[in-house]
Amino acid sequence: GDLSDDVRENVARNAVRRAFKTWAKAGVGLSFSRVAENENPDIFVEWRQAADPDHSMVGGILAHADFPPGCSVIVSGLPLPCHFDDEEHTWVDGASGGFDIETVALHEIGHLLGMLHTDVSGSVMFPTVSANSTSRRLQSDDLAGIRDLYPPFPG
């Protein structure tokens, strides 16, 4: 999909890729691979206008994603959206000049995997994030949540 106007395409893509890798390393057997649009992706990552037709981001909302099929609230099938507001916010790779793509992607991918918000401050799934900061590591609350959702396969 369309990537951010604020950073080079490869910078945005690599930041999102790192966020997927972080969830893949959570120890619950998840893996992700990039496919072409015509290969029926499960998730579609894109930067869009604030007044996104599928779910408005106007105001303080940085991005949105949907929950897995069966729990979805935005779309009724695949691919699930992971949309960033490219109109009202400045996107950066790092902790200065705007919102860190990898930080926000990590949170939104959590929703795509079925995670809800937490009230544990400092966790990736905490509902708010500050500009000019990064949160690129899953915290104990995040890991406990994903392990509850994806229990180990029987040996």
Q: Which residues are catalytic?
A: 108
On the CB side of 57, CA atoms within 13 Å amount to 20
| Helix ranges (DSSP H) in the chain | 9-24, 101-112, 140-149
What residue type is 140 in one-letter code?
Answer: S
Residue 99 neighbours by CB distance under 10 Å = 22
Nearest one of 126, 129, 150 to 138, comparing CA atoms:
126
The Cα 26–Cα 114 span in angstroms is 14
Phi-psi region of 66 (alpha: psi -120 to 50; beta: other; left: phi over 0): beta
